[in-house]
Every structure is written in structure tokens, then in C-alpha cells.
Structure 1
Amino acid sequence: MSFEQALSGLNAASRSLDVIGNNIANAGTTGMKSSRAEFAEIYASSAGALGGTNLGLGVEVGAVAQQFSQGTLSITGNDLDVAINGKGFFQVKSTDGSTAYTRAGNFKLDKTGAIVTNSGATVMGYPTDANGVRQSFDAQPLKLPTGAPIPAKQTTKMAADITLNAAAPIAATATPPTPIQTYGTSLTAFDAQGLEVPVGMYFTKMANNSWQVHTSVNGSDPSTSTPFTVNFNADGSLNTATSPVPSLTLASPNDPAQTFPITLDLSKMTQVNSAFAVADLSQDGYTSGALTGIKIEDSGILTATYSNGQTQSAGQVALVNFRNAQGLSPTGSGYWVETAASGQPVHGAPGEGTFGQLRSGALEESNVDLTAELVNMMTTQRAYQANAQTIKTQDQVMSTLVNLR
């Protein structure tokens, strides 16, 4: 008489309870994926059995399968918290140099400016230029320049979107004559050291559809500058053919001898029957600035904000996927590693192809269904008790045989 079937049932039920217990224990773990025990029956041999008389030897746990269904997204408001809404894994480099993958996006910033996980693994990303254009799919550690401010940038071009009043009198015929400063505006440029260079532009109507432009630098008298002329078409748009705009020469406040040229774009200027108005002024220079904040966009672009008002991209969060995610091997701390069963990782970016989008300021909760796990626990407990009862019954039968007279 054999107890093997019942013993195998006890072992299988015990392992299933271990899996269920682990699921319940990690119900609050960010990015955790639940598992389930999958059973398989055991036979000594199916060959040679006649009439279905080959009795089974019990049960075994065939596999502990991971369930990679989407977890609920929980809003946290933390800029470095990020969740994957869809397929994909974050790629990280562990402290021992090995590569791992995770769904937990509760990232931190270490003292060197690197984006890391709670266990110190470095988050990997793709390099981008300052405007967020990806340069390659060669994953590298995401790092922000926290140790030093970004350097100043010298202004190279300026643009103005200005509306001139078509009904304004010609300056020379007005009584009294219209002063140069009547229609004007100013903009701040920057030299190579990030020092501010005030630039003024003043407009004087010389004739119908024709205006003279005087400039001033660092507070100089605009009347002493060499003016240039802008002409307008019948519809009020700028006549670019007869309105060549020269480059301006600016001087550093530290040393007036240190000059630098800039281009001036006035192509959006118009002349209509409306009061003088400045719609937009822009220039491409800035002073140095320290890091004040970071944000991860839905596309994975890491945007850094600086005290000088500038924003620059510092990389893009890398995502990977696998043909068989079930083949990944869990290693703890919310990490999985590649195996022969999972296949090699397929690299991509958030929101591209089949990869999910990122949600900044949110975390993916565990996909454990506590109600289902508690029901499974009760079912497995009953299975354990039933197998124990089988052993008890077998023992009673054997005791009856031994006590035969």
C-alpha cells in the first residue's frame, strides 16, 4: 500500500500555498507581478498499461508561472515616479554590473546625478540632444548635471514680431516732430559670460509703408546709431526684397571692445491700422543656471529645468520587451534577468510600436488580486486537508490488515 500519491499532493499543495503567500505578501510592492503554481500529474509509465489500469503516482508542480498583466496606476505626484502603461520593462544596470529589467518606476536621484532604483541600480536610457531628439538606441546610464551649472550661451540671433500703426503720421511732417522713442521696444541679449546686454529698437515712419529702425546697445542713444529701412507691401506684410535687415553688433558690458554679431529676424513684422504692439520678442542666449527640477515626459524624454529659465533634455528612458516574458527569471528586488527561454531583449522607446507609454508622477501597483488569492488559499487548504485525510485513511486500512487474526 502506497502513501506516495497523498504525499505528493501534500507537497504540491504546500508549494502552492507558498506561491499564494508570496503574492499576498507583495500585494503592496510596486511593479510586482503575481505568480501561480501549475500542477502536472505523475505516471510511472503509460506504455504497456491495459484497459487504463496504469495508476498515477500523484502530482507535482510543473511550473510557477508569472502573470504579466497590467497593474493599476497610482498617482503619486513625484516627478521621478514613472509607470509603464502597456508593454515593456525598464532596463537597469545593477551594482555588480549585470543587466536586469523591472516594472518598478520609483526612481531616485543619487549624489552624482544618476537616476537610480531603490537598490542602487542605474536606470538606462538613450542619448538625446538638448532638444530631445534621440541620437541612438545605444543604452547608457541616465545622468543629470547636478554638480555644476550649465554654461552661459552667447546670443547669436534675435527675432521680433511687431505691429506698426499704418495710420501713424510721417515723423517729419508731424507737429511737433515725432520723437525716435515714440515707437520702440527692448530685449535682453547675453554675451559669452552670460552678462545681460540690453538691446533697444525704435521705429520712425519716414513715408507711407516705409519705416526707419534705430537701435541702441547697453543704453546708448538710438539717434547716434546707423539706421536701416524696412518697407511694407500693400497688404501690410514686410517687403523682404527691399528690406534687408543687417546684423547687429553687440558689446559686452564688461569690456565694450569685446563685440559679437547677431542676426535680426523681422520677417513677422506687419503694418496695419492698429496701435503699435509687440506680439513676441525672442533670442537664443542665456546666462548660466543651476538645476532646479526634472520631469519625465510620457515619451520617456527626461527634461531638466534650470534657474535661468532654460529646459534641456538629458536623455530618454529606455524600454525593452521579450518575445516570451514568461521565460524571464525573477531575482528579487523587483528585477528579472534574461534567460534562454525569454529570448534576447528587443529595444524600443515609450509609445513607439508595441511599447507602452510612460505616466510621470505615477507608479504601477502590484497586479495581485487579494480576493482571488484568499479564495485560492482556502481552496488549496482544503486540498491539503484532503490529501492528509487520504494518508489517514491509508493508515487505517493498513492498521486493519495488520490486526487481522
Structure 2
Amino acid sequence: MNPAMWISKTGVQAQDAKLQAIANNLANVNTVGYKRDRVIFEDLFYSVEQQPGTQLDNNRNSVSGVQLGNGTRMVGTQKLFTTGNLQTTSQSLDVAIVGNGFLQVEQASGEIAYTRAGQLSVNSDGRLVNAQGLPLRPEITVPANATGITIGENGMVSATIAGSTNATELGQLTLANFINPTGLVALGDNLYQQTTASGNPVTGNPGSDGRGKLKQGALEGSNVQVVEEMVDMIGAQRTYEMNTKVLSAADGMMQNLAQAAR
């Protein structure tokens, strides 16, 4: 096989993966707390036919040698945890994280997952839960006779109880930070899970030790920039087309060689 055909195949596969990531970003442009994906590529091994510096004769050395590349491959994807735009909702149980950090929820398996989506509600047991019904950790229970809930910037949750004029503290929301948040594994449902690459979570009150503050009555929107994604999509499409043209050209060259050999 003509090596150019193999190299072009790797280019087509790489751009197909990039288009898939762009499609997912655009599909989640209105998903609360979504973080865009970026695809990372690297070049494949080189066929070194002549090492740089090889002595050609008594007076000359090769300046650059002969090194032929063998294409590209996707080495990974990366979540970009830049802050999305804040959307004011005026709902008392909506909360946005302004800065670094993740809310913590308990999954059905008992494991802790992490999220930036602050669409909270109260379940039938009075516990604060996320949009999927998973309870927050630390657990916060809202009394049935509470007439109003306040979530402070520092994560303190309080409520006005019927028959009382003073606010009652219900509990403290904490945020988890990771030394490498891009190492978290995305589970879907706006949830992430720690891995050895992310490091262990470091929890604390919002606004302390580099953690973001909470803003009640708002949600963090997706950090996807539609114009940027469209530009990337056009670039990936053009690169895909160029690689398919190289495939066609290499195929034509092979056909010419086969005809000449008859």
C-alpha cells in the first residue's frame, strides 16, 4: 500500500474524532454546568532513513537527515473547566459556583460524584437533592414548615420557620477542589468522578482556600462558545476533505503504476 494512503487514513480518523467532540459541545450549548471538550493529537512515529548529522563523505554531514512521518492519532480529550456565563433564574434553590469547586452528591452505589450544575430541589424526605434526585453531601434537610430558604456565598443554608422571625441554620454546603480537574471522568448527567489522575478531593467552605463562592438564584451556563465551535468545525471539515483528496491522489498513483506494469 502507498504509505500516503495510510497516513491520510489516520488524518481522516483524527478529524472525525474532532468533529464528534465539536458535535457534542454544540449539543450541550444550553446544558447547565457543561464544560467543553478539546481533542488532543500527536504525530505518529517517524521512519528515519538517514539520521541528522550522518557523515555523507569526508567533508560533509547531513544537516537534517531523512525523516518521514506516518500520520497522526488522538492522544486524548480534555475538559476545559473555565467558568460559564451566569444565568439569573430568581429561584431560591438554584445556585451557581462562581470560581473553582464542585458540589458533592451521593450516587445510588454510595460513591460520591461531583457536579457544577446547581439545579437543586427538596425531595419527599426534605433533603436537598440535585436535578437527578441525588442527595447532596453533606446532607441538608429542610423542615416541612420552612417558608423560605437562603443559601449564602459561604455555603451556609438557612430557612425561615413558620412561627419564628429568626432564620434557622440548616447546614453547610461545601465544595470540593481537585489538583487536576481535567483528570476527572465524565459520567454524564452533569456528574464527574475522581480518578488517580485528578487526585483526591480537598473539601471546604465556598470562598476559602481558592474555592469559588456560591450565588443563589443563578445557574452557571455551558462554557461552549458557539462561534468558536463553528470555526473549529469548518477547519476540521476542510482538513477532512484535504485528507480524502490525498487518499484519492494516492489511489490514482497506484492505479497508474499498475497499468504501467502490465
Change (3 A) 1:41 1:121: same
Matches within 5 A, 1:83-94: 83-94=96-107
Q: Deviations over 1:73-112 (max 9, x none)?
A: 1100000000000111111111221111110001111000
Alignment match, 1:291: 146
Give the 5 Å matches for 1:254-333: 290-309=145-164, 310-333=166-189
> 2:32·2:222 contact (CA, 8 Å) conserved in 1?
yes
**Residue of 367, 379, 387 corresponding to 2:235:** 379
Q: Deviations over 1:312-362 (max 9, x none)?
A: 011011101011111111111111111111110111111112111100000
Secondary structure at the counterpart of residue 122 of structure 1? coil
Q: How far is the alpha carbon of 1:48 from its aligned partner?
A: 6.8
Match of 2:190 in 1: 334
- Structure 2: gaps (5+ residues): 53-63
Backbone CA RMSD of aligned residues: 1.5
Alignment match, 2:141: 143
Counterpart in 2 of 1:187?
Answer: none
Query: Residues 47, 89 of structure 1: CA spacing in aligned structure 2 closer, same or farther, 3 A cutoff?
Result: farther
- Give the distance between the partners of 2:49 and 2:134, measured in 1 at CA: 52
**Displacement of 1:124 after TM fit?**
1.3
Is 1:112 the counterpart of 2:125 in the alignment?
yes
Match of 2:70 among 35, 45, 57: 57
CA distance in structure 2 between the partners assigned to 1:74 and 1:337 by the alignment? 25
Q: What residue is the counterpart of 1:351 in the other structure? A: 207
Pick from 25, 28, 32: which aligns with 2:27?
25
Inter-partner Cα distance in structure 1 for 2:184 and 2:119: 21
Are the aligned partners of 2:49 and 2:66 in contact in 1 as well (CA < 8 Å)? Answer: no
Partner of 1:154: none
Distance in 1 (CA, whole Å) between partners of 2:65 and 2:82 is: 40
Task: Tell me the distance in 2 between the aligned counterparts of 1:47 and 1:340.
Answer: 40
- 3-state SS of the aligned residue for 2:70? strand
Given residue 239 of structure 2, which amino acid in structure 1 is its aligned partner? A
CA distance in structure 1 between the aligned counterparts of 2:225 and 2:33, rounded to whole angstroms: 14
CA distance in 2, matches of 1:317, 1:80: 13
Q: Is 1:68 equivalent to 2:81 in the alignment?
A: yes
Letter in 1 for 2:26: I
**8 A contact 1:6–1:390 mirrored in 2:** yes
Which of the residues 18, 22, 37 maps onto 2:39? 37
Q: Deviations over 1:228-248 (max 9, x none)?
A: xxxxxxxxxxxxxxxxxxxxx
Letter of the 1:364 partner, please give it.
E
- The change in CA–CA distance for 1:382 and 1:313 in structure 2 (over 3 A counts) is same
CA contact (8 A) 2:50 2:65 kept: no
Partner of 1:11: 13
**As a proportion of its length, which structure holds more strand?**
1
CA offsets per residue over residues 218-268 of structure 1, 9 Å max, x none? xxxxxxxxxxxxxxxxxxxxxxxxxxxxxxxxxxxxxxxxxxxxxxxxxxx
Q: Secondary structure at the match of 2:243?
A: helix
Change (3 A) 1:40 1:145: same
Alpha-carbon distance between aligned partners in 2 of 1:389 and 1:291, rounded to the nearest angstrom: 67
Distance 1:4 1:316, change over 3 A: same
**Distance between the aligned counterparts of 1:47 and 1:101, measured in 2?**
50
CA 1:320–1:46: 2 relative to 1, 3 Å: farther
**Matching residue of 2:55:** none
Mapping 1:151-300, distance limit 5 Å: 290-300=145-155
Deviation at 1:293, TM superposition (A): 2.0
CA contact (8 A) 1:33 1:69 kept: yes
Distance 1:349 1:14 in 2: 42
- Residue 55 of structure 1 aligns to a residue in which SS? strand
Q: Per the alignment, in what secondary structure is the counterpart of residue 207 of structure 2? A: coil
Give the Å deviation of 1:303: 0.8
One-letter code aligned to 2:153: D
Preserved contact between residue 95 and residue 120 of structure 1 (Cα < 8 Å): no
Please, what TM-score do these two structures have when normalized by structure 1?
0.59
Identity %: 36
8 Å CA contact retained: 1:94, 1:120: no
Superposed CA deviations along residues 53-73 of structure 1, whole A, max 9, x for unmatched, are 231110001111110101111
Query: What code does the residue aligned with 2:159 have?
Result: A
Deviations 1:187-214 (A, max 9, x none): xxxxxxxxxxxxxxxxxxxxxxxxxxxx
Describe the SS at the equivalent of 2:71. strand
Instruction: Give the aligned residue type for 1:370.
Output: V
